[in-house]
Amino acid sequence: MSKTTIVVGLDGSEAGARALDFAKRQAKVIGECSIAICYVIEWSPYSFQTKEENEQRHKRREEELALAHERVMDPAVSQAKEEGFDVVAIVRHGDAADILDSVAKKHDAAQIVVGRVGVRGLKERVFGGVTGRLAAAASVPVTIIP
């Protein structure tokens, strides 16, 4: 029997940490389970940029990836590994809801676990938050941790 995978969305916040804790508890219950910890750097290919920003983009991207690993992913992953969990770390650029769903599809995940926080304000009212959009459109069950 193949392993079950749980995808966890991490964003460096308290709620993200709670989501990871929940995923760990679930993984223990399931037994044969791996956790795909996913951090998404919000980025749109349709934003407008200056020439300098374009010129520097590759450099910035490397810096963003390094920071994400250093501040959020590496501590979470190494702690989970120490606790004996089977973990994969994924850092991507793009739209958080889309990326989490595509990672879940790729790993044939049983569920996505995310914390209940997001960008508040007009943007979220108009376009919906990450959790809202995931709940509405994800191809696997979504657990939202308060």
Q: Which of residues 85-124 bind other proteins (CB under 8 A)?
A: 92-94, 102
Beta pairing class for 33-42 and 142-145: unpaired
To other proteins, the closest distance from the beta carbon of 56 in angstroms equals 6
State yes or no: residue 126 binds other proteins (CB under 8 A).
no
Tell me how far the alpha carbon of residue 103 is from its chain's centroid: 9
To other proteins, the closest distance from the beta carbon of 48 in angstroms equals 4
73: left (phi over 0), alpha (psi -120 to 50) or beta: alpha
Choices 4-12, 53-61, 69-77, 118-126 (CB under 8 A): range interacting with other proteins: 53-61
Q: Which of 117, 112, 119, 109 is nearest to 134 (CA)?
A: 112
Q: Which is nearer to other proteins, 20 or 104 (CB)?
A: 104
Helix, strand, coil abundance in the chain, percent, nearest 5 = 50, 25, 25
State yes or no: residue 82 binds other proteins (CB under 8 A).
no
* Site residues, other proteins (CB under 8 A): 41, 43, 45-59, 61-62, 64-65, 92-94, 102
